[in-house]
A and B are shown apart, each in its own frame.
Chain A
Amino acid sequence: MKFKPRIVAFLCNWCSYAGADLAGISRIQYRPNVRVIRVMCSGRIDPIFVLKSLQQGADGVLIAGCHPGECHYAEGNYFARRRFTLMKKLIEFAGIDPRRLRLEWVSASEGKKFADVINEMTEDLENMGSINLKD
């Protein structure tokens, strides 16, 4: 059977979750590999969520928030960005390909972009193969 990567996506309520909704309203089709967890702000993403997802067997993690300067909470996405850099290093240190973690800015009107990101990420992960932490 073909490998089906599983992506955990943390979406901020105001921009990226709305963008994912817009993809739906506009009926833009994308790969069914993503499971969304809604948070109020991308700045809420605790590194533990990312680690836990990967440790439990998620093949990729997506964090999506408002574009820089557009955060509903003024600057939460900047924190997300800073933490993202750290998290990348962290998972790399843990022996995980850092490409499995991705940060994207998706606004409420970018339904197409959300779909593109999911498709692209699914494809990348397919190429990378399943995460196998026992290796």
Chain B
Amino acid sequence: MERKGFSLRDELKVISLGDFSRRVFSFRNSGKKEKEKIGAVLVLGGGIAGVQASLDLADSGFRVYLVEKNPSIGGVMAQLDKTFPTNDCSMCILSPKLVDVGRHPNIELITKADLERVEGKAGNFKVTIRKDPRYVDLEKCTACGDCMDVCPVEVDDEYQEGLTKRKAIYQFFAQSIPNAFAVEKRGIPRCRNTCPLGMNVQGYTALIANGKFKEALRVIRETNPLPSICGRVCHHPCESECKRNEIDEPIAIASLKRFVADNYDLDSDREEIEKTGKKVAIIGSGPAGLTTAYDLAKIGHTAVIFESMPVAGGMLALGIPEYRLPRGVLEKEINGIKALGVRIQLNTEIGKDLSLDDLRKEFDAVFIAVGAHVSSSLNIPGEDIKGVVHGVDFLRSENLKGKIEVGKKVAVIGGGNVAIDAARTAIRKGAQEVTLVYRRSRKEMPAHEEEIEEALEEGVKLKELTNPVGILGGEGRVVGIKCIRMKLGEPDESGRRRPIPIPDSEFVLKADQIIIAIGQSPGLSFVKGEFELTGRGILKADPDTLEVSKGVFAGGDAVTGPATVVEAMASGRKAAISIDRYLGGKSLEKVEFKKTGEIAEFEPMDIKKEKRREQPLLPVKKRVNNFEEVRQNFDEKTAIEEAKRCLNCGICSECQECVEKCEANAIDHEMREEFIQFNVGSIILSLGFDEFDPKLKGEYGYGRYKNVVSSIEFERMLSATGPSGGIPRRASDGEIPKKIAFIQCVGSRDEKTNPYCSSVCCMYSTKQAVIAKEHLDVDCSIFFMDMRTHGKEFEQYYNRARDEYRVDFIRCRAPSIEEIPNSGDLRITYEEDGKLRDEIFDLVVLSVGLKPPKGVEKLSEILGIELNKYGFCNTSNFKPTETSREGIFVCGAFQGPKDIPESVTQASGAASRAGALLSSERGTLIREKEYPPERDVSWEKPRIGVFVCRCGINIAGVVNVPEVVEYTKTFPNVVYVEENLFTCSQDTQEKIKEAIEKYKLNRVVVASCSPRTHESLFRNTIREAGLNPYLFEMVNIRDQCSWVHHHEPEEATEKAKELIRMIVAKSRLLEPLKRERIPVKDSALIIGGGVAGMTAALDLANQGYNVDLIERDGELGGHMRDIYTVIGNPEKLDAQEYLQHLINEVNKNRRIIVHKNSEISDIEGHVGNFKARLIDNKKREREIESGIIIVSTGALEYRPSEFLYGKDKRVVTQSELEKLIKNRMDFRDIVMIQCVNSRDQEHEYCSRICCTVAIKNALRIKEQNPDANIYILYRDMRTYGFREDFYREAREKGILFIRYEENEKPGVELKGNSLMVSVTDPLLKEKVILKPDLLVLSSAIVPQKDNKELSKMLKIPLNRDGFFLEAHMKLRPVDFSTDGIFVCGLAHSPKFIDETISQASAAASRASTILSKDFVEAEGNIAFIDPEICVKCLKCIDVCPYSAIEYNEEKDRVEVIEVMCKGCGLCSATCLSDAVQQRHFTNEQICAQINALMER
């Protein structure tokens, strides 16, 4: 589990070990079941929303479990290049948040995990999490990446959208949190599962593919002592099971094995094996006996093999002809086994030369593996006639003596390998005609297909469906064989079709020699009477343990009947394990030696067909008269090519290369899935989204045309960390595109796929076009339907893209894409201005929509929550963060498609709701670390300890660490230098602490990796040893030295020395720093009593804080007082009812004091302690103190001066229309004009809500008066998200939409008494005249007029449009850069009520992170001012971005407000008299670094 400093394992309690495959753990807090509520929250999904919700909750006193299914948190945001509208580098702003989560003491990060079960109810849920194995120990992994270098398996890199490959062991992305690698496994490959020995086929194949032949041999030899043999004669069931069969042909596994085994040897640095003193007798030196002997010898038992024949090898030596298995190969492998100390006693037949009892007396155990060498009879007349021989005897004679009598016309009866071997041997020995007689068809022949093929090539004839019925003799010799023709009937128990004789079809086959090869049985006469034999004449052994009787075991063909080499070997292995158990005095149990688990199954996708490489065969002419080996070995190139065909079914091949390489011993391939249980009070769902699969829009050719990419792929292509370093290239030819088309609404606003609008695509495509133009010289065209740039500052971005960047926006849904053959270019034919156009692009980007995350149906069942009709979480407009189950909240794109700021806002909103539910339990489960008192070192001379890290070989492989250490010892004040293998490891932390104690160190320097990732760890360590954490410094000799100067070890060593010298110089000047603490007043001041202010007030009051709510009107309610209905979910909501409910709640709540008719006249103070002066309409003043301030001052509806508004009563605004509708108006012809004063010169921004409001009102009118004629004159309909449903409904109900261009606004005039509205339809280029009896203006939302005053008073900025400007548009959407002040509602920007509610909750949540604390703590490295030197020029006050410096009139001096300072150091660089210094980065300290570098 992932926690630095704390071990999650410490808190785990094993609650069930009943089932070994399922280890179940439980957190201790689950012991608090009797408690009603639990002060902990489960956050499901670690994208930006989950990260934000976790940080908010953990910072406001709750324990958080953040569960993420990927190996790292970060979500889709981590894949993005830039973010709109600021073009911020996505990773730059995300990464610090991820690091915060990773090191937060109250966030338990559980990666590669998912929710399994939920029980209980709001306040106390018991959850079970399934955690998949990572196979890498997070405590040990240093993310050095050595493992990745040796991993032989490449798979598509999902982080790079499959545009590049990664290894099976991988880091999700460079800045992953947790900062560790993970192994991806899919299960056991079918080849490995099928192999009787369980050979790791994928493992050695992958290594061969990488040219690592010795390593491959190591993997092979782990399970197989006879690989050269198996590489030739194994029946390779692995190949029959190979997944590649589904595409073309199986991998030539056996040939690959032989290639490696024949050509390479393992270095024999074999360790001395400790002898156990136990002796085992093995009867038979075939594959079973050899394997048993090998396995036993490897673990120290003495194995002696007794072989009745003069050669060792059993069937391998006697049955298989040399042209298949040369004697040399057999001898080499048997010698390998002998080398382990195994003795083979030849010519010793048990039952004749020695008795079984002799063996039992002399040995501790006996293993019978005599094979099956007795040939079966046909049981037909004439079998005893001269010229009839048995296959095994025939082959044995040839193999032993090389001399054999062969007829001219030979008939071989049987269809197995022995039959084929006999036939081919007969050919080689000069037979003129050899015929194979087999009773079924060729398809059913048990012999290997390739053997049959080779035999036929050599001239062997095959008579299939032929059964011998009698052997004919003449002159005391065979003359022929009488046969009958057969046909195939129903399948028998072997699954093969049973042969049935065809009546009257007998015929005679002439032959002068007949070889019978229809099967064999073991020769077991020596055990007769002692052990039981079955009806088939084989020995009866316990199938699970292979025990025959106490101390006697049997295996191989002797117990199975004739089988294959590899089966015999597996049997031998099984026996060895049983025998070892027996010898160790353990009770015998079922032997399992193969890896078990789920089989790797998947759909192979986009795999190119590629022919299997076959071993070259000796030409027929060159082989029919000798016993030269027929099959020739692969060469290196062929082996690599063939191995590369492997699909890597298991993904990780378990070749163990990474394990060998990892110096930190962090990798464990035996990790298993775990089930973790704990209790939480609430659950937050931040599951994110999936991208729409563009293949489903076949007309765009994605997947078929190489140069059609999805927008997320394009995002990676634009990224500096992407596949081509930020320069997009065409997949077809690697060319840099010159003309790119973006097609919008792929999987959005589309009845056939997803009818809703995905909200973000217009903006992200515009951004991508802009970034593309920044990166390269390219033309970009965006094909769109409505440009939906409805967010804060989005419209301005769109305008810039069009006017400054010259992005071409084409209003048209591109019907399809056509690829131009050979060039890879793409043609788009479209209609513009009524004309058909045709344009060629060299890259097309499909702007894919957002869809619910995969697997959400199952998850919703587990959670017991409702989904909406599209599969997103079902929420209502007034409760945007609440799911249908109490206590479970939702945020981010899973609630509906949305962009990053909205996701972050909603995440904070959900956190606030969860916090309110659990406010009574705040602080009950958080952990605070106890430290020893700090040692006062101020009077001491610097005593510096330097710890130089080797980082395994990551540093030491390049930098000469011992030399660096010796050099460092020469520096003044350095009293101790140590070199560590891994300085970040747990035991080194202890060593550092000991060294601090022993050598009285008062400064610590670690030379290792980056302070960005490791500084906090070491600071914590020295603090534990009683040193102030700021007495620490880090030198980056890995990321910025050894890793980047790999080929220049001397230069890198020199650099490391100098870098250490610089930091040591700085460290002499380090000072202990105190983080100033300011007490926090736990009450909030909220300015503005609309929906935003009231919601924030209630959230905070419910979280247990006191609130002063200021409203300048005599009534609460703000803008919402003019709204009557809300459209959304459910379709129609009563706004007034909700408002009344909200007001009642506020009035009822005793923690909220409402100050009506009141305004703020002055504010002073800072976070934790603000003082506001309030003045009411009776000029009474009062002072209110608070810890935080929320600005929720709302906005106004613009009062138009155009379109006869105010001059004609029939011209109204949308909010005035609401009142008319409520009073059941009676109008017939209604015209609405959109964008009145929005998106124009005066108000450049889009007012976001007017399109939906117009549709809402139009639908309401239709409801009251279905005959009403309604025209909506618009520029772009911006009904984003699920609001698109209502746009569609409006069109279906006959509401007419006429578009107008910005430069051709509708005209309104009075003709007589009638209103005349004229508008030019840009499609038809025709002027349309309308005569409405009501004209409705969708006028802009404009900022409050007095925002400027408030902005000055609070020192918070406004944007160009006059709305309040948050600290960061993306990730701090409700904060200001001035701490302790927050914004929500329309004061921030135009938005809907549900968005306002989310944002108000978000502001409350952010406020709670301060209010929940007794103190706010300043940074350590903040500015300080020396009043003696300061000339009071006040320049520092001007440059401070945080208003953290002020002039104190009373004391007549300039002071730093420590809690406000963020430690950027701008002031220090600005100060001309050096009076302002940044602590920890003082001029003196930095100059010391410079001086130290230059002194030589």
Contact = CB atoms under 8 A, between A and B. Distances in A.
Nearest to B1440: A73
Contact of B1044 (A30, A56, A75, A79): A30
A77 to B, nearest CB: 10
A20 B1040 contact: yes
B720 A113 contact: yes
Nearest to A26: B174
Given A32-B1051, A49-B1490, A69 B88 contact: yes
Nearest to A11: B1040
Select the residue from B1040, B1043, B1046, B1055 with max chain A CB neighbours within 10 A. Answer: B1040
B1452 to A, nearest CB: 26
A28 B1044 contact: yes
A129 interface: no
Interface string B145-163: 1000000000000000000
A89 interface: no
Given A24-B1039, A79-B1439, A107-B92, A73 B1462 contact: yes
Contacts of A48: 1483, 1487
A15 to B, nearest CB: 5
A103 to B, nearest CB: 14
A32 B720 contact: no
A44 B1478 contact: yes
A121 interface: no
A32 B1466 contact: no
Interface string B80-100: 010000111111110110000
Given A41-B1464, A83-B1469, A35 B1493 contact: yes
A134 interface: no
Nearest to A118: B1044
B901 to A, nearest CB: 16
B1048 interface: yes
A126 interface: no
A118 to B, nearest CB: 9
A109 B720 contact: yes
A36 interface: yes
A57 B1490 CA distance: 10
Contacts of B1010: 17, 21, 24
Contacts of A24: 1010, 1038-1040, 1043-1044
B562 interface: no
Contact of B1464 (A25, A29, A76): A76
A41 B89 contact: no
A46 interface: yes
Interface in B1448-1479: 1462-1466, 1468-1470, 1478
Interface string B716-731: 0001110001100000
Contacts of A53: 1490, 1494
B1005 to A, nearest CB: 14
A74 B1012 contact: no
Contacts of A32: 1041, 1044-1045, 1048, 1051-1052, 1054-1055
Contact of B721 (A37, A41, A109): A109
A15 B89 CA distance: 9
A62 interface: no
B1466 A76 contact: yes
B786 to A, nearest CB: 28
B1486 interface: yes
A125 interface: no
B1442 to A, nearest CB: 8
Interface residues of B, number: 62
B721 A79 contact: no
B1483 A44 contact: no
A110 B1010 CA distance: 16
Contacts of B93: 70
A40 B1421 contact: yes
B1490 A79 contact: no
Contacts of A41: 1464-1466
Contact of B1062 (A30, A37, A43, A70): A37
B1441 interface: yes
A59 B1465 CA distance: 26
Nearest to A44: B1465
Contact of B1481 (A23, A44, A58, A115): A44
B1043 A109 contact: no
A69 B1494 contact: no
Contacts of A57: 1494
Contacts of B1421: 40
Contact of A35 (B145, B1046, B1058): B1058
A111 interface: yes
Given A32-B1055, A35-B1062, A58-B1493, A43 B89 contact: no
A6 B1490 CA distance: 12
A64 interface: no
A6 B1496 CA distance: 13
B1489 interface: yes
B1006 to A, nearest CB: 14
Contacts of B720: 107, 109-113
Contact of A40 (B89, B1058, B1481): B1481
B449 to A, nearest CB: 48
Given A73-B1441, A110-B89, A113-B720, 13 more contacts: A14-B92, A22-B721, A24-B1010, A32-B1048, A37-B1486, A41-B1464, A44-B1469, A73-B1464, A76-B1464, A76-B1466, A109-B81, A109-B91, A111-B721
Interface of B: 81, 86-93, 95-96, 145, 174-175, 719-721, 725-726, 1010-1012, 1036, 1038-1041, 1043-1048, 1051-1052, 1054-1055, 1058-1059, 1062, 1377, 1421, 1439, 1441, 1462-1466, 1468-1470, 1478, 1481, 1483, 1486-1487, 1489-1491, 1493-1494
Interface of A: 6, 8, 13-15, 17-18, 20-30, 32, 35-41, 43-49, 52-53, 56-58, 66-67, 69-70, 72-76, 79, 83, 107-113, 115
24 contacts: A18-B92, A18-B95, A21-B1036, A23-B1040, A25-B174, A25-B1039, A29-B1044, A30-B1044, A32-B1054, A32-B1055, A36-B1040, A39-B1465, A39-B1486, A44-B1469, A58-B1493, A70-B92, A72-B96, A74-B1441, A76-B1466, A107-B92, A108-B92, A109-B721, A112-B720, A113-B720
